[in-house]
Amino acid sequence: MIDFSIEPEFQAKLDWMNRFVREECETMDLLWPQQGACFDSSITRARQHLKPLQEQVKAQGLWACHLGRELGGPGYGQIKLALMNEIIGRSNWAPTVFGTAAPDTGNAEILAMFGTPAQKARYLQPLMDGDIVSSFSMTEPQAGSDPSEFVCRAWREGDEWVIDGEKWFTSNARLATFLIVMAVTAPEARITERMSMFILDARTPGIEIIRNVGIAGENTNEPGGHAYIRYNKVRVPLDHMLGAPGDGFKVAQARLGGGRIHHAMRTVGRCQRAIDMMLERAVSRRTRGRKLADHQFVQGKIADSIIELEQFRLLVLKTAWIIDTQPHGAARNHIGMCKVAMARVFHDIIERALEIHGSLGISLEMPLGNWWGGVMALAFADGPTDVHRGQIARSFLKTATPVEGIFPTEHIPTRRAAAIARYPDAL
């Protein structure tokens, strides 16, 4: 039986989170709205405010809850994480305040699962403590996220690995203490065994940031958050590999699945905040002699948004339940469904919220315009949406059986003839 229930003690923690995120984290959004500010340790005043907030989160036992007990975390499970992330998703700063900011969460999972004791001591513990930020360097300018087209390679020379090539959209690289890099080590092997994963200190000679790329919705006067990087024969010791040679694909998949579902969880919270804005606007603003709430078009936009978000939220919660209760890998299709639905739901709800707010909605005096700029970024986060649509379709097509004969199974004349043959005295 599917069960999303939680104990009263945890509900009390959610209630505390709800107040804390609205009062504290959303205040941080207003004071330091710059792109990447929540990762930038050089903004000292923001850090001075951040640390006490993180201590409050830790005192509540709500810090870095994405890791299970076997990986050194509190082990709340995905249903509780979904309910937490709905609240965290309201604010840009909240993931950093709660120790759940991407790409650090996925990188922490990689290190916890595949890192050596020395790697964990040097990189994982400071990352878990919130003292450093990290970066994940996988996609390439000519290939996007398609590993079959990757050309950044690594080869062994003596007691070192040499990494050479370019990577694209390496988020937070300019602020990172370390980078996790995927490179081709066996170009003739099949795709799933062709690559390996490495951990690099960001100060390693040969790492060149060609430029920091911005995206829609970001301030063009600030550095972009996604680096285009060239690795110029970067030399790293042999013990800087994560997992075994050829394990890069496996390591990446272990990371990306969690990232997709957590993006979906936080999207629920962002969409709910947009709906809250719609409801307030509808009962506050008048046009043509009536409140917006009295116009059927407005009512329709609000109703559609509420229904779509409820459907999406239930999909996310069911996916979380499958991860919590079923064997590893059982949630693959449902994670893909969340990935596909996420950007579409976010797009439609933010669009309606913008329309109800009119010119104020598209202005920078409301957060909706910047959120709208991030709609397409969400569609590409942790892999293009269309890849997952294809994967879902292929998975279900494998369960389908071709019909024997000319007509489909549900062909009424054929079924009716079979029914008459079974019960000849029925007519």
The model's pLDDT over 300-315, given as tens digits with 9 standing for 90+, comes to: 999 999 999 999 999 9
**Segment 218-237 mean pLDDT:** 88
pLDDT computed for residue 353 by the predictor: 97
Task: Please give the share of the chain, as a percent, with pLDDT higher than 90.
Answer: 74
Q: pLDDT tens digits, residue range 68-77?
A: 776 667 788 8
Q: Quick one: pLDDT at residue 15?
A: 97
Out of 143-147, 158-162, 244-248, 250-254, least confident range: 250-254
**Cβ neighbours of residue 332 under 8 Å, at least 6 residues apart?**
257, 391, 395
The mean pLDDT value for 38-46 works out to: 90
Report cis status (omega within 30 of 0) of the bond before 223: no
Place of tokens 């010119």: 359
Q: How many CB atoms lie within 10 A of CB 63?
A: 20
The fraction of the chain above a pLDDT of 70, given in percent, is 98
Let me know: does 283 contact 293? Beta carbons within 8 Å.
Answer: yes
Q: What letter would DSSP give residue 124?
A: I
The whole-angstrom separation of Cα 270 and Cα 405 is: 50
Dump pLDDT digits (tens) for 91-131. 999 999 999 988 888 898 889 889 999 999 999 989 988 88
Instruction: Return the pLDDT at 423.
Output: 95
List residues bridging with 156 in a β-sheet. 161
Cis amide linkage into residue 103, ω under 30° from 0: yes
- Domains, the chain, in order of start with CATH, read 8-115 (1.10.540.10), 134-242 (2.40.110.10), 250-397 (1.20.140.10)
**139 contacts: CB under 8 Å, gap ≥ 6:** 145, 167, 168, 169, 170
10 Å CB burial of residue 26 (0-12, 13-18, 19+) is middle
What value does the mean pLDDT of the chain take?
92
Q: What is the pLDDT of residue 69?
A: 76
